[in-house]
Amino acid sequence: MPKRTTRADPIRIGVGGWTYEPWRGVFYPPDLPHSGELEFASTHLSSIEVNGTYYGLQKPATFSKWHEETPDDFVFSLKAPRFVMNRRVLASAGEAMGRFLDSGLVRLKHKLGPINWQFLPTKAFDDADVEAFLKLLPKEKAGLPLRHALEVRHESFRSDEFIELARRHGVAIVIAGDSPYPEISEATAPFVYARIKGTTKSRKSGYSEAALDRWAKRARDWSKAREVFLYVIGGHKVSNPAAAMALIKRIAPD
């Protein structure tokens, strides 16, 4: 079983996915076999948001393999598939959602983190449709508790009505940091889920030291009451692992 180089519970920090060719020689050693990338990433980060689940169903054996290749305290967050989310009426997603939830993700066992249900940028807030969708989200699967986060990307979701709806159903609202999308920071679940997109090519660690300090402080503040999942996503993607590791170093116990 791989061992972690840095541990940061209850704050979990990582990136989106682990397969990205420009990371070789920057994050990954240039001679590392592709088959060793997940193991390497999982010993330097404490979580990963899986992109592959967005593009299509994974096989049960794949989830089992991910479980076996990562440290015992590592956690995967999963992006819900686009065939579930890319629709005008979310209330119609029940059958597609069932196919995703039946695809074997429970094989991750305790390494299953929140599921990110990412709405289309064109999807405006419709209280009846959003509530119908929330009612479709199960609390558990095969005895494994499920946690859900909503990534909304239309300005109309910046409303007290939506925040109260999310709170009533116990789902998190993804905090869109350094992003063109609305940043809604109200806590609506027992965990916080943040995706920050401000890395740039001009900084060795993607962010300035001051910006890293600010995000580390926010993560520590959130963690006083909730488990935290923070992913460095988008921006200058080559720098995202460095930014994530810099944040892990800042929040690690002395």
The first and second tokens of residue 217, run together, are 């402080």
- Per-residue pLDDT at 7 exceeds 90: no
Annotated domain spans of the chain: 11-251
Put simply, whether the predicted model's pTM sits higher than 0.85 gets the answer yes
165-198 in b/e form (b: 16+ CB < 10 A) is: bbeebebbbbbbbbbebbebeebbbebbbbbbbb
Question: What is the rounded CA–CA span in Å between residue 125 and residue 119?
Answer: 10
- Cβ contact 198:175 at 8 Å: no
Question: What is the rounded CA–CA span in Å between residue 176 and residue 229?
Answer: 12
Encode pLDDT of 49-103 as tens digits: 999 999 999 999 999 999 999 999 999 999 999 999 999 999 999 999 999 999 9
- Per-residue pLDDT at 8 exceeds 90: no
The CATH architecture that domain 11-251 belongs to is: Alpha-Beta Barrel (3.20)
